[in-house]
Amino acid sequence: MRVVFMGTPDFAVPTLEAIVSAGHTVSLVVSRPDKPRGRGQKPLPSPVKEAALAMGLPVEHPAKLDGDFIQRLRDLKVDVGVVAAFGRILPKALLEALPKGWINVHASLLPRYRGAAPIHRSVINGDAETGITTMLMSEGLDEGDMLLQASLPIGPNDKTGQVHDALAQLGARLLIETLDGWEKGTIKPVPQDHAQSSYASMLTRVDEQIQWEQSAEAIHNRVRGMNPWPGAYTMDQGKILKVIAGRLRREGFPLSHSGAPGEIVDVAGDEVAVATGSGLYWLAEVRPAGGKTMTAGSFVRGRRIGTGFRFG
């Protein structure tokens, strides 16, 4: 089929590459405009644009997805649109413009986690499973009929970055299976059960901050859910301390300890035990404001703090 592909971040790159490898014709790639990045704030292309140019594919980032853009797709004789983490809402006229519609690659098992941050939210919530849903796009946010689904287990120590990368590969495979079945007419769209839906809202600064009154397990899920981006943090006497990694257990130590939430109750080598609302959370790697990532043990020794000091 002749495909128009819309995507922006790393997550979408494997899907674009898979479409090309499967022999479909990518008539056009649409991505978000170049953004200033790095210390020099030099405008750089999105990962999708970079990958598309490397494969010799035409790339555009139109300001409007209106009649002129629709006519361009018709002139290219595009059959179907594929969207993977594009970052823009498609207007109704565009959704109705292609013969075989628009297929979205969504990083959750719909109807759970509609919205902008399904991967982060599933890890933060401690889910044991997530997955990919390919769906027909509609005007409602991630409300379209489902085409195919595939699940992915989430380990108790998996981080968002790991889950993201695994879902990106799974999404690419499922999209090719979807395109094949959609072209042959062997896939029947299934309406979502809207009563079972949930929303994965964009992350805020509040989501990033560790609340030591929560359980150790909830804190662990938040830390791994924010890794590698945007990073969970706690406050260290008015300064932000990023918590990069930690764990719930350390052999030979009790699971709990008397201490106020956020209080350091033990320092053992590279790790630091902090009391929570329920149980201990062992800090493993942290990054102070303006500094580099280091072990939690190195940080507290450098700060000359120890048992009795309280974060938050």
> 175 a known binding residue?
no
* Residue 309 β-bridge partners: none
- Please classify residue 91 by burial: count the beta carbons closer than 10 Å to its beta carbon, then call 0-12 exposed, 13-18 middle and 19+ buried: middle
> 215 a known binding residue?
no
> 31 a known binding residue?
no
Alpha carbons 286 and 242: distance in angstroms, whole number:
5
CA nearest to 246, candidates 274, 265, 269: 274
Residue in this structure with the two tokens 């120590």, named with its chain if needed: 157
Whether residue 297 contacts residue 288, with contact meaning beta carbons closer than 8 Å, is answered with no
> 111 a known binding residue?
yes
* E-strand stretches of the chain: 2-7, 25-30, 35-37, 42-44, 59-60, 80-84, 102-106, 129-136, 146-153, 232-236, 239-247, 264-268, 271-275, 280-288, 294-295
| Binding residue ranges for (6S)-5,6,7,8-tetrahydrofolate | 108-111
| Binding residue ranges | 108-111
